[in-house]
């Protein structure tokens, strides 16, 4: 895994919702990788504590949710989308999305949260930097592998020339 970073340090918000705590673990792990990769101003925040202003203030939005209720977002994320950020303008904002799930609950809607969040950010003008991180079952065994590798890919994008034109 690479942790080298050549671009400037960016203000990153890692936003998440969780019911059982798995998504919080992933959010913290992502933030740790991004900080170690040169982005010291990376904040982790729950949707319940987040305002439109928080999202507007960040240069990069990393947003995650587990999947619940047959292919829906976490209930807190649903409330956040419907009540807080419904009309948000993300035009040009670099974004990355992560979703959690478990095929034992609904094989037909596995990790649908990643699709829903991607549709939301892109539908509001956000720019997806990389394909979503998708995690099935408990994330603990993949924090050092899948999650770290995804972060390395994201760090590469954040160091790229095109990010300078977006932020």
Ligand X SMILES: Cc1cc2nc3c(=O)[nH]c(=O)nc-3n(C[C@H](O)[C@H](O)[C@H](O)COP(=O)(O)O)c2cc1C
Q: Under the rule (CB under 6 A), what is the footprint of ligand X?
A: 18-23, 66-71, 100-102, 105-106, 109-112
| 45 or 167: CB nearest ligand X | 45
| Cα distance between residue 161 and residue 1, in whole Å | 21
Q: Kindly state the smallest distance separating residue 71's Cβ from ligand X, in Å.
A: 5
| Angle of the 22-36 helix axis to the 148-159 helix axis, nearest 10 | 40
76: which residues sit within 8 A by CB, 6+ positions away?
Answer: 17, 18, 19, 46, 47, 48
Residue closer to ligand X (CB basis): 10 or 100: 100
SS3 138: coil
Minimum CB separation from ligand X for residue 66, in Å?
3
Q: CB–CB of 113/152 below 8 Å?
A: no
Phi then psi for 140, rounded to 5 degrees? -50, -45
Min dist CB 17 to ligand X, Å, is 8
Helix (H, G, I), strand (E, B) or coil at 104: coil
CB of 64 to ligand X, least distance (A): 9
Residue 21 vs 40, nearer CB to ligand X: 21
Residue whose CB is nearest to ligand X in the complex, by number: 101
Beta-ladder partners of 61: 13, 95
Q: What is the DSSP letter of 37?
A: T
Residue with Cβ nearer ligand X (27 or 129)? 27
As measured in angstroms, the least distance from the Cβ of 26 to ligand X is 8
Residue with Cβ nearer ligand X (19 or 45): 19
Rounded Cα distance, 88 and 86, in Å: 6
């Amino acid at each position: 895994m690479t942790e080298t970073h050549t671009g400037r340090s960016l203000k990153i918000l890692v936003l998440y919702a969780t019911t059982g705590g798995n998504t919080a673990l992933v959010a913290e792990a992502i933030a740790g990788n991004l900080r170690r990769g040169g982005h010291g101003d990376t904040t982790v925040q729950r949707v319940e504590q987040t305002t439109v202003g928080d999202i507007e203030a960040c240069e990069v939005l990393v947003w995650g949710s587990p999947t619940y209720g047959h292919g829906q977002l976490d209930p807190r994320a649903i409330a956040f989308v419907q009540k807080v950020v419904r009309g948000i303008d993300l035009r040009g904002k670099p974004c990355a999305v992560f979703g959690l799930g478990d095929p034992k609950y609904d094989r037909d809607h596995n990790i649908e949260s990643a699709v829903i969040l991607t549709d939301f950010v892109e539908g509001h003008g956000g720019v997806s930097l990389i394909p979503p991180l998708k995690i099935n079952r408990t994330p603990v065994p993949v924090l050092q592998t899948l999650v770290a590798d995804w972060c390395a890919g994201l760090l590469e994008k954040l160091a790229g020339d095109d990010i300078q034109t977006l932020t």
